[in-house]
């Protein structure tokens, strides 16, 4: 386990992160742990203790802006975990899961602040394991035109 702030510098100053944690931003980020793994994938948050999983291949090969937005997305899950919310409610498909809708909504808001177009945001939403219908459902849920 590594410290989030040793690898992701300056996030304590990002408005999108401060909006999540307010006055506790520095404390939350200072105490957040990261587990780096060699498995392909993206990022995630542990249901056990709220630490962040990060795929090293994704960090090496991923688009910098996508990685940034994914960190914002995952920090929403960190907040949800800290608030006692179960992150993976299997009664819902991934693209309809309330925790995911909230996290993507926050990431999309940040993407718009970065002046990304709906087309760019739609492409950001697309993950390897999603069908086109899944991506369209997610885009609808977070108000992204496709």
The string of DSSP codes covering 64-86 is HHHHHHHHHHHHHHHHHHHTT--
What is residue 51's DSSP assignment? Answer: P
Q: Please determine, for residue 146, whether its predicted confidence score (pLDDT) is greater than 90.
A: no
In tens, the pLDDT along 51-100 reads 999 999 999 999 999 999 999 999 999 999 999 999 988 899 899 999 99
- The pLDDT of residue 128: 83
Nearest to 124 by CA among 79, 67, 77: 67
What does pTM read for this prediction? Answer: 0.95
Q: Please determine, for residue 125, whether its predicted confidence score (pLDDT) is greater than 90.
A: yes
């Amino acid at each position: 386990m590594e410290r989030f702030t040793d690898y992701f510098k300056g996030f304590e100053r990002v408005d999108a992160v401060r909006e999540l944690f307010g006055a506790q931003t520095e404390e939350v980020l200072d105490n957040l742990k990261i587990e780096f793994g060699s498995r392909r994938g993206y990022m995630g948050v542990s249901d056990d203790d709220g630490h962040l999983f990060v795929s090293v291949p994704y960090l090496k090969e991923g688009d910098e802006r996508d990685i940034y937005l994914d960190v914002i997305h995952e920090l929403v899950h960190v907040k949800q975990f800290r608030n006692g919310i179960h992150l993976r409610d299997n009664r819902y498909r991934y693209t309809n899961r309330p925790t995911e809708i909230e996290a993507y909504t926050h990431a999309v808001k940040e993407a718009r602040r970065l002046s990304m177009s709906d087309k760019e945001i739609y492409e950001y939403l697309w993950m390897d394991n999603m069908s086109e219908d899944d991506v369209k459902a997610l885009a609808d849920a977070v108000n992204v035109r496709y």
